[in-house]
Structure 1
């Protein structure tokens, strides 16, 4: 049997890449985000689309398009040293001064805590989201080498969202959008979908993030500052009343000092 030509291998790789690009284009409407890949992201994704020999599963291809951030395998190995910690819900984190903003990035893996602000990419939940995430979660649990990034992300969002009010707050922050009937239905979506999955926390890429969030949450000073901001700095009238009260107490203190000084040092 004649050895296979190297040109045939190159042609096979090029045709596989072309097929993968077509598959990405076909499934692009299912991406649960309104932040499309920019030109640089597409170029990097195309360059690293088939890092291994052999076939590429459509779900794996779709997973990469959601989670890609430059060095997926290295990031997953580094994050596997510690386990994922339980996170408090949105309202509890708010009480400790943690704020939420939308992070305009392509990858769902780009979640960061910076100066007490949790930056999360926008997620768009449509009718197809349940079947989409269930399929991605099942694929990860059946293919151990593919990691568990999608499952980790879903458990992270499930920790944050328990009720409709928390979902509504993330919506107001620009992090969540949905086409379902109510915010309560979205909250129930996360609560139900994680019951169908198992997360190996020691392999979580959000391990360090969860540790940082819980460290910030456990700092009493952050909670006191958050209460002060919420109670006295939430609107201009509260600030004015606080300044007026401070001036009044200062004048009272000065008057008291003058009274004590006059008692012990009467004028001659």
Structure 2
């Protein structure tokens, strides 16, 4: 693989472990799906899992778990990412892996709350002042993208996420976990109520015997 200069080297470093197949069909606009925000996905029951590794773009989804390599953000990050995006738009607009990665994160992050969810999941670690600054940096980087690929790299991941999030039972599971199983005392209360219900049913049943 030929390296043109430093920015090209950085792009190659960030490339995912699995590249698009040669001649792979492009997605029509109506078939391209982008992720919901982290807050929306969490409310729908999606679990965020941070993974270690040197392949920053290897985002995967399986059985309700969205696995994302850790992203470290510091003062210089924005400048580096902007340069890679500019280079990719100029030389690799049909294979814009890094641009697709930033678009994915831009849709995932819409507010400081989204950043907080990713920070608590250890997916994002930053040295900026606030979570709001992180959201601003991510969102501002994407504003400089002028060419969007018709072959969005994370299209399959997004389709699976949306399909999972659209199921009502997953939303109810998430609500139950959030409201009743987040604290030990909540779990104890639920167990107590179940036992009490069983004893009540048995008492009523034996009363008719």
Q: Could you tell me which residue of structure 2 aligns to residue 108 of structure 1?
A: 56
Q: Residues 201 and 84 (structure 1 numbering): CA distance in 2 closer, same or farther, change over 3 Å?
A: farther
Distance 1:140 1:84 in 2: 20
Q: Could you tell me which residue of structure 2 aligns to residue 87 of structure 1?
A: 35
Q: Residues 73 and 113 (structure 1 numbering): CA distance in 2 closer, same or farther, change over 3 Å?
A: closer
Higher helix share: 1
Contact 2:95 2:149 in 1 (8 A): no
Contact 2:35 2:162 in 1 (8 A): yes
Distance 1:60 1:146 in 2: 15
Q: Which has the higher contact order (CA 8 A, sep 6+)?
A: 2
Q: CA deviation at 1:157?
A: 0.7
Q: Residues 196 and 221 (structure 1 numbering): CA distance in 2 closer, same or farther, change over 3 Å?
A: same
Contact 2:119 2:125 in 1 (8 A): yes
Q: Could you tell me which residue of structure 2 aligns to residue 178 of structure 1?
A: 126
Q: Could you tell me which residue of structure 2 aligns to residue 192 of structure 1?
A: 140
Which residue of the other structure, out of 155, 175, 178, is the alignment partner of 1:230?
178
State the structure with more CA Rg: 1
Which residue of the other structure, out of 134, 157, 166, is the alignment partner of 2:105?
157
Task: State the TM-score, normalized to the length of structure 2.
Answer: 0.88
Distance 1:145 1:223 in 2: 37
Contact 1:122 1:174 in 2 (8 A): yes
Distance 1:222 1:105 in 2: 29
Report SS of the residue matched to 1:196: coil
Which residue of the other structure, out of 84, 93, 97, is the alignment partner of 2:45?
97
Q: CA deviation at 1:81?
A: 4.2
Distance 2:150 2:127 in 1: 34
5+ residue gaps, structure 2, are: none
Contact 1:152 1:199 in 2 (8 A): no
Q: Residues 88 and 97 (structure 1 numbering): CA distance in 2 closer, same or farther, change over 3 Å?
A: same
